[in-house]
Structure 1
């Protein structure tokens, strides 16, 4: 067995020196228009140590091609030699790169990429059925014929239905699924929105296993509006501002929902018993018959350590949405931050701030992303204060909150950031021509510096950047610069977030 080594080694370290639990490999980081670099990631629990079927693909707009490209750094693209019949190919263990430690049996990048696809990737977690998130997967299904079991597609039911109806329909692509008389290369795992209340316990309650070592909970988020209103097209999203009459998640998932508080000062950390309670943006009233495109945010949890990351599909800011749903996700994320469980957020920022709101098309740019993160920061501070108060021994207060919920105590206290001001942040984003700092949340406890920053230790990994294909700096450089500028201004005002902004790049690894 041979070992390949390079001077460039993987930065195998978690955020802030913490031992990592999850490896994230970026296959595609863009949102188009080039088809060779669109959203696609591989995740694994480090505890599985490269066991077979231990890799989870999260979206697969670009998939097998970038895996091959990464392996070309270690192997020739093709191998034309003919080994003797008595000789088995010598296995190679990589010492660097995203697949360091993995044993490859073949001599070419192409053959080893196919080996990884067939033997190690067991499931595909799909956020929504747009082509830039599943085109690679659909085309790569031609390679699934030699696998020992079907590949699993895990997604919310609306995404599964769209893939069945519009992709694997024997018109656009052969029906290679195991449903409706298909070939059987692909099987579907329909996730319950918010998680399954009957699965797991404690912090793992509701998480559904999709891959060895990794469990997920799925939340719907909004990604713009349909260009045609029902019934002009097959329904592909949620009605604006309307609670689903028949929620796809287990009805007992209300055990996860944060209980509504009578006090308006507690409303930011509470939702109704259903995750789809309408929360209208102040300036975005629903149009009659408007259809909001659904996407998904996934909390992905390492079984061994309980560490988590949050992965967003395409998503728009709540301030512009006809069906704002990010606050629900942020509320859950805030509790995980307070408990030291959440290490990274992968979220899109498709455009820089030169893109006007009218032309965001259900996406983010820096001014809106920073406002969303301010909302998360405010919620995280609330959750941390709540946790500190519990640890200080308010034992007389009997709590009936579910294991996966957060019930605030009914008492008067100073808030670190008033949610009425957070609502003000959400009520109106910056003008695209404005260079002023986004509206901020005030604090009643002084300057927020260093270790006190609410998102300290969180990696915010930017994905789905849309390439302008113009000369000059890449748009991702503008996005990163603008995000850092906003953070610098917030820190000057004692309102720093404390997170680390990273632009995802194909071929890189991130450790959570």
Structure 2
């Protein structure tokens, strides 16, 4: 790993490699610095555990397809994730689906971005020389989507790509040999990625697949073992109990076709509800990833609080139960590298924080947000103290001048820092810099459409405010501005 990849995020260009390798704060003694520099050359990373530097090999590689929060449709939430010790061919997790294939093609069309730099070790087949074909090749390794909530800036690309997920082979799109009486294998001519999320989120997403907004391309998979989720209305007054009856007539929530032996082959993506148990569960059978999901509040509708999700995404080689062509050669090394390390990824969320003079704005939702968020921070505090927390991806949509009644279920720098102080309180009430070494990847910044009087962009203002809060608060965190086209190694 070059020294260029480990410099401060503030000195990197929009499309660059970001590697979480060094911890902020006091400069370590020369012996530790020497050891850390040697490790960097061997593609290692480090973290702080009980005040000591602990070295790890990188656990995850993340490509940022989009990190904005709107209003630009060209930069919405979308990330490609894989285990650092696995190859891209082993399978890719699409975390959020706001930006996708088109965004990657646009990134690769930039003259300063090389596919070999963004996807080191990935070889493209002969003829895959255009940005679109190279992006399609990467997406051919898509194993599944993981979605925090169903707002369009998080699922727009997913919907558009339904039915057109690039095949793993050009043979995939050829017609069957026997056009009159094709075999069952010949009928299955398209990939069917799973879409994972809470049942409540998937019910909302499935509304796009009723034939009006998009063709009826979605199917429901049977409930996972141990799913104890409570019945949820699907928007038509029908909950899970009703859906069980509908399964017999090959219908699922909101009219989405349910998975049966007869109609499974007609679907182009599979709605797969996550377990609500508070334990890590395997995500997809081909990925060394397990997941722990919590609900968060994200504003409200005319009927109820709108739920988003926070997800602890853990490197877990034991989660692989189905091999891919290149899995056998990679899993042996995967089992000893970074096992158990995880990052925390938030969908959109709100805080209980209110600025002076606004304490009476949305009081009930503030209480609800605190109750939900505190549970997550307690879990994160244990992971951090164990040295397993690679970083936190969390939104900061607006700057601090945004009034509370116009936040629409989002965070500003004071709200974000308030949440981090809550995490710090669970870690230690006495230590100085209790979150020393923790990387906070700032996402979902909403770009301004009118110039700011200072001449600065929304991103510049928000990052400046966050750094000023840290300069005063001294939690020990490092804020990293996450940009479209970044390659993040943690």
TM bin, normalised by shorter chain, reads 0.5 to 0.7
- In the superposition, the TM-score normalised over structure 1's length comes to 0.64
1:323 to 351, 362, 368: 368
Asked if the contact 1:346–1:460 (Cα under 8 Å) also holds between the matched residues in 2, the reply is: yes
Question: Cα gap change, 1:71/1:486 in structure 2, threshold over 3 Å: closer, same or farther?
Answer: same
Inter-partner Cα distance in structure 2 for 1:505 and 1:210:
30
- Say whether residues 1:506 and 2:489 are aligned partners: no
Inter-partner Cα distance in structure 2 for 1:27 and 1:12:
17
Question: Cα gap change, 1:15/1:343 in structure 2, threshold over 3 Å: closer, same or farther?
Answer: farther
Matches within 5 A, 1:64-463: 64-73=101-110, 94-96=115-117, 98-105=118-125, 106-118=128-140, 120-144=141-165, 146=167, 149-164=191-206, 166-179=207-220, 180=251, 181=257, 183-195=266-278, 197=279, 205-209=280-284, 212-226=287-301, 228-229=302-303, 291-303=304-316, 304=335, 305-319=339-353, 321-324=366-369, 325-381=372-428, 417=429, 443=430, 448=432, 453-463=433-443
Question: Cα gap change, 1:335/1:146 in structure 2, threshold over 3 Å: closer, same or farther?
Answer: same
- SS of residue in 1 equivalent to 2:204: helix
Alignment-derived partner of residue 29 in structure 2 = none
Inter-partner Cα distance in structure 2 for 1:70 and 1:137:
18
Inter-partner Cα distance in structure 2 for 1:348 and 1:75:
27
1:71 CA drift (Å): 2.0
Inter-partner Cα distance in structure 1 for 2:151 and 2:393:
18
- SS of residue in 2 equivalent to 1:20: coil
More RCO (CA 8 Å, sep 6+): 2
1:215 CA drift (Å): 1.6
- In the superposition, the TM-score normalised over structure 2's length comes to 0.66
1:210 CA drift (Å): 6.5
Inter-partner Cα distance in structure 2 for 1:225 and 1:13:
35
1:463 CA drift (Å): 0.7
Alignment-derived partner of residue 56 in structure 1 = 93
Question: Cα gap change, 1:149/1:333 in structure 2, threshold over 3 Å: closer, same or farther?
Answer: same
Asked if the contact 1:308–1:342 (Cα under 8 Å) also holds between the matched residues in 2, the reply is: yes
Inter-partner Cα distance in structure 2 for 1:145 and 1:489:
49
1:322 CA drift (Å): 5.0
Deviation string 1:343-384 (CA, Å, 9 cap, x unpaired) is: 110000000001011111100000111111000011112xxx
Inter-partner Cα distance in structure 2 for 1:194 and 1:348:
25
1:14 CA drift (Å): 3.6
1:310 CA drift (Å): 0.4
- SS of residue in 1 equivalent to 2:156: helix
Matches within 5 A, 1:477-492: 477-490=460-473
Deviation string 1:94-132 (CA, Å, 9 cap, x unpaired) is: 541x212211121111111112112x1111000000001
- SS of residue in 1 equivalent to 2:394: strand
Asked if the contact 2:88–2:138 (Cα under 8 Å) also holds between the matched residues in 1, the reply is: no
Alignment-derived partner of residue 22 in structure 1 = 60
- SS of residue in 2 equivalent to 1:296: strand
| Residue ranges of structure 1 left out of the alignment (5+ in a row) | 1-6, 77-92, 198-204, 230-290, 382-416, 418-442, 491-495
Inter-partner Cα distance in structure 1 for 2:463 and 2:20:
22
Alignment-derived partner of residue 46 in structure 1 = 84
1:321 CA drift (Å): 2.5
1:142 CA drift (Å): 3.5
Asked if the contact 1:208–1:217 (Cα under 8 Å) also holds between the matched residues in 2, the reply is: no
1:216 CA drift (Å): 1.2
**What number of residue pairs does the alignment pair up?**
344
Question: Cα gap change, 1:74/1:482 in structure 2, threshold over 3 Å: closer, same or farther?
Answer: closer
Asked if the contact 1:127–1:312 (Cα under 8 Å) also holds between the matched residues in 2, the reply is: yes
1:454 CA drift (Å): 1.6
Higher helix fraction: Structure 1 or Structure 2?
A: 2
1:212 CA drift (Å): 1.3
- SS of residue in 1 equivalent to 2:392: strand
- SS of residue in 2 equivalent to 1:334: helix
Inter-partner Cα distance in structure 2 for 1:141 and 1:464:
24
Inter-partner Cα distance in structure 1 for 2:16 and 2:350:
36
- SS of residue in 1 equivalent to 2:292: strand
